[in-house]
Structure 1
Amino acid sequence: MYCYQCEQTAKGTGCTAFGVCGKSPEISDLQDLLIHISKGVSMYAHKARELDAIDSDIDLFVVKALFTTITNVNFDEERMETMLKEASRMKEKAKLLYEKACEKSGKNPENLGGPAAYALPDNRDDMIRDGEKVTPEAWSQKHGEVVQGLRDLILFGLKGSAAYADHAHVLGMDDPAIYGFFHEFMAYLSGENFTVDDLVAKAMEAGKWNISVMELLDKANTSIYGHPEPTKVRVTPVKGKAIVVSGHDLQDLELLLKQTEGKGINIYTHGEMLPCLAYPELKKYKHLAGNYGGAWQDQREEFDRFPGAILMTTNCIQKPKDSYKDRIFTTGLVAWPGVTHIDEEKDFTPVIEAALKAPGFAEDAPEHIITIGFARNTVMSVAGKVVDLVKAGKIRHFFLIGGCDGAKPGRSYYTDFATMTPKDTIILTLACGKYRFNKLEFGEIEGIPRLLDVGQCNDAYSAVRIAMALAEAFNTDVNSLPLSLILSWYEQKAVCILLSLLYLGIKNMRLGPTLPAFVKQPVFDVLHEKLNLMAITTPEEDLRAILG
């Protein structure tokens, strides 16, 4: 295996023996093979689209294939083998779609090679062997590490965008143009000849498309569940039976809430599900009791102590301990060998039964309340007051401190940076990186909380809209605002957000805790020169550099 798609990759270069995330070499190779075949699917689908031939099953499959290979999603060889066989069927379906479109338009179909010509073996061992031939390391030997790093920068961005597109699809929101984007870019990556300049431009274009994907997801979330609103949330448990829901999927939480009404079970969010408690159509359920625990990387200890059932809805799963393996469940694309999976019917009866069987919390814990729900509607509604406070010198600077959390040392930087920010500054935060400081007290500036929780990583669109609204209010551009972005990254959704920010031309961003292994020095030098993208140093040095 060779995998370097996450921040915690071994030695900062790549996992070669076993994934730091817990995935086996076999799973890693099967995932690489799934991406390879999916490129072949998109090669035919892209050609067919040029002739106005579209198939929604093909479109959705490529998105799911990309999402399945994100870090901490699918660790199950059997399910991966099933997806590979489906990919092979989809490739033949896409080929037929293209050929029929050619026949209808009076054109001769091209004889496509590369991934489009790949034939999947019948048994898993041969699939694994084939997967070893299409790892990033194998491609690097052909293209060179700089070019291959850029190809993977684009690919990993596509994976993150695919997660957002799938979330939107689950809520009934689809855009044919967005599916066309995935096919076009996957077909592009299946090519043979690349230049650094073309790849950098293509990466920026992927960032542009990701803004459209995030906008679609934002529309799906807010049209169904309402706009998040400031909400006081309990982050300590109460007495009673319990289920904790982790991941990102709002609909799974809603369905579970409906199925547990009147059953005497309290529902808690975990990790990136915390912002769900601010949506009007979700927080109306009285048994949505609050948030339990922190970010994804603490789950093995937190779930071990949790006296109820656990539901994983999207990425973020870690290898379950034996102590809770019989009461953790997966659904959607997330999977772990030996863990009970809830299928597309979304009958959560096994989860409910496990919760009723477990002891639950014996008593209320001491109450601790935090406030969330400062998405774009809320912040923009007080933009006038914020502008006045800035002009009066009462708000000196804004910091967006957010992104993915992780277990590797060095992330205390974000806690220290947040606590060191002066009392006349505002902190915007989003994604699970907020758990480094979101339970601390930062106070207010004339009624405006100094810490504003914008939401999930999915809600980066909200943060972009807030920045643009402030720029408009000050009659300037985003780069002229007293705003600094301090970003933490872990997996591929952070990559697509970074590409979007780079596309928007946002300068002076600081990224950490380490730079991506796939962004090689010559590429980073270009981004530093054009947009002053830089690595974090120390909180003290970075604050001095920003504030003077």
Structure 2
Amino acid sequence: MEQNMFCFQCEQTAGCTGCTGKAGVCGKTAQTAELQDRLTGALIGLARATEGGIQATEETGKLLIEGLFTTVTNVNFNDNTIQELIDRVHAEKEKVVPGCGSCADPCSRTEDYYMEDLWNAQEDIRSLKSLILFGVRGMAAYAYHAMVLGKRSEEVERFIHKALFAVGEDWNMEMLLPVVLEVGEKNYLCMEMLDHANTGTYGTPSPTKVSLTVEKGPFIVITGHDLKDLELLLQQTEGKGIHIYTHGEMLPAHAYPELKKYPHLKGNFGTAWQNQQKEFADIPAPVLYTTNCLMPPKSSYADRIFSTELVSYPEVTHIGEEKDFTPVIEKALELGGYPEDREFTGINGGSSVITGFSHGSVLQVADQVIDAVKSGAIRHFFLVAGCDGIRKGRNYYTEFVKLTPPDTVILTLACGKFRFNDLDLGTIGGLPRIMDMGQCNDAYSAIKVAVALAEAFECDVNELPLSMVLSWYEQKAVCILLTLLHLGIKNIRLGPTLPAFISPNVLNILVEKYGIAPITTPEEDLKALLG
């Protein structure tokens, strides 16, 4: 009997309800989906066996972070590596709680959690548990990036244990709702930790103009979120006549002082993750994937794809923990790059983009911003941010930004910005109207700026002339949304579709308490948000 899958954790899920056939829209097979469910069940089993982390070790926390990140959309399509992780989780459980699997104690926590119990649960329970599970998957991605740079949080990791424990328990809505909001609270701490890890290692980002032209000669494209991998690649290619170009969420790396000091970090190639099968089809260069954003590579360019960290795809060369990028470097030299400079543009025809408006750089000119608001030069701020994706209707965000009045500012972050970040909308008081604050990892920057403005004007964040128009795709967007709700931010517009795992009753709670609303049309939403 052929295997069928069930997965509804991302925005592009089939029919806006769930992928249930032989393969997901993302390209994940039913067998891979089943293995990811088994891995998740093993992680929940580990958390339950250790009583929500009471008996856990440092390795337990590391494994939970790695395992959860592996199940984020577009990270791992490799059945072998997923099975290896399952085996590691089982081994850790036996080490920490010896004999747990064979224990006769009726605590019901001796075995791996059976994920079908979640997918077949009453819809409101399933909805709340999905918010918790998908939220901690996103949080684990942030915790992993920080861990790579030597930063860990006992409080964050203790909560991940607690959250997984809750998913495995037979709790009602009243018991689950506080855990959902706690995902947002602890994710804020996690994002703060990651921000400190990035800026402590690479310096405070500053506004930087990034060219979209690819110069002649050998080059490597690096995509994903992991700045450490970019640093190592820059070090290993120094003096070899190879240029490095970022792609997707790696674009903001150009703004960090310790990374942009490398002269062979040249510019950015391509746009957001969902365009890679077209953009990578015939480039004479290898591509290195560092974290999630992998789309199944087409055969026409699969031999030029390399992965590292938790990213894995069958028959794609993987760079292991030794981080020796020699195979990538050799492939770049073999392919040779373009014989002449090639001028590329963004989606709207721009030849360059600007990134680096982190909270550190924006708050340095806070007085200038505040004066512009008080004088009426700036009427309103829009945070137009989030994930990009395949589904039709995402041109809404391009049109929305184009329609914003000239006395408004657009703050943006994450890969959704590629819909409009090459637009030239002019300036206000010497500041560009579009300010790119970084990766989805940098949502902390937007929150810091909003809080600082609220303090400056002695008001609540919801009283600021600030509206949030967000796009979501995968699980990091889920934990960011929960963080915004934890902070009490209301009237968020969300699209292009609402999550399939949000039940009508849970949606009603979010609407009544926080005023969350789906996007409609750019014209209607602008009119409503500007009052």
Give, in angstroms, the shift of residue 93 of structure 1: 1.8
Residue pair 1:240, 1:265 contacting (<8 A) in 2 also:
yes
Give, in angstroms, the shift of residue 98 of structure 1: 9.6
Matching residue of 1:444? 427
Counterpart CA distance in 2 for 1:116 and 1:544 is 56
Counterpart CA distance in 1 for 2:461 and 2:75 is 35
Counterpart CA distance in 2 for 1:252 and 1:188 is 34
Tell whether 2:249 aligns with 1:247: no
Structure 2 gaps of 5+ residues are 345-350
SS at match of 1:435: helix
Q: Deviations over 1:415-471 (max 9, x none)?
A: 000000000000000000000000111110120110000000000011100000011
Q: Identify the match of residue 286 of structure 1 among 263, 266, 286.
A: 263
Aligned CA distance change for structure 1 residues 48 and 242 (closer, same or farther; 3 Å): closer
Q: Deviations over 1:231-263 (max 9, x none)?
A: 111112111101000010000000000000011
SS at match of 1:116: coil
Give, in angstroms, the shift of residue 188 of structure 1: 1.4
Matching residue of 2:304? 327
Tell whether 2:4 aligns with 1:10: no
Letter in 2 for 1:434: K
Tell whether 2:126 aligns with 1:148: yes
Matching residue of 1:172? 150
Residue pair 2:56, 2:96 contacting (<8 A) in 1 also:
no
Q: Identify the match of residue 118 of structure 2 among 139, 144, 149.
A: 139
Q: TM-score scaled by structure 2? A: 0.95
Tell whether 2:41 aligns with 1:36: yes
Aligned CA distance change for structure 1 residues 112 and 335 (closer, same or farther; 3 Å): farther
Counterpart CA distance in 2 for 1:98 and 1:37 is 13
Counterpart CA distance in 1 for 2:109 and 2:208 is 49
CA RMSD of aligned residues (A): 1.7
Counterpart CA distance in 2 for 1:88 and 1:475 is 52
Counterpart CA distance in 1 for 2:340 and 2:30 is 44
Letter in 2 for 1:91: K
Letter in 2 for 1:362: P
Matching residue of 1:159? 137
Letter in 2 for 1:221: N
Give, in angstroms, the shift of residue 113 of structure 1: 4.3
Residue pair 2:380, 2:409 contacting (<8 A) in 1 also:
yes
Q: Identify the match of residue 95 of structure 2 among 71, 93, 96.
A: 93
Give, in angstroms, the shift of residue 291 of structure 1: 0.3
Counterpart CA distance in 2 for 1:236 and 1:484 is 34
Counterpart CA distance in 2 for 1:72 and 1:328 is 15
Give, in angstroms, the shift of residue 117 of structure 1: 2.2
Give the 5 Å matches for 1:85-234.
85-96=87-98, 111=105, 113-114=107-108, 116-118=110-112, 134-135=115-116, 138-141=117-120, 143-192=121-170, 194-234=171-211
Counterpart CA distance in 1 for 2:108 and 2:303 is 43
Matching residue of 1:104? none
Q: Deviations over 1:27-64 (max 9, x none)?
A: 00110111111111112334562xxx541111100111
Aligned residue pair count: 519
Matching residue of 1:499? 482
Residue pair 1:37, 1:115 contacting (<8 A) in 2 also:
no
Question: In terms of mean alpha carbon deviation, does 311-320 or 78-87 score higher?
Answer: 78-87
Residue pair 2:52, 2:164 contacting (<8 A) in 1 also:
no
Residue pair 2:100, 2:110 contacting (<8 A) in 1 also:
no
Give the 5 Å matches for 1:342-491.
342-366=319-343, 368-491=351-474
Give, in angstroms, the shift of residue 184 of structure 1: 1.2
Q: Deviations over 1:141-175 (max 9, x none)?
A: 3x311210110111000000000000000000011
Structure 1 gaps of 5+ residues are 100-108, 119-130
Counterpart CA distance in 2 for 1:117 and 1:94 is 14
Counterpart CA distance in 1 for 2:191 and 2:226 is 14
Residue pair 1:46, 1:180 contacting (<8 A) in 2 also:
no
Give, in angstroms, the shift of residue 115 of structure 1: 5.2
Give, in angstroms, the shift of residue 200 of structure 1: 2.1
Residue pair 1:39, 1:115 contacting (<8 A) in 2 also:
no
Give, in angstroms, the shift of residue 134 of structure 1: 2.0
Counterpart CA distance in 1 for 2:317 and 2:405 is 48
Counterpart CA distance in 2 for 1:46 and 1:539 is 48
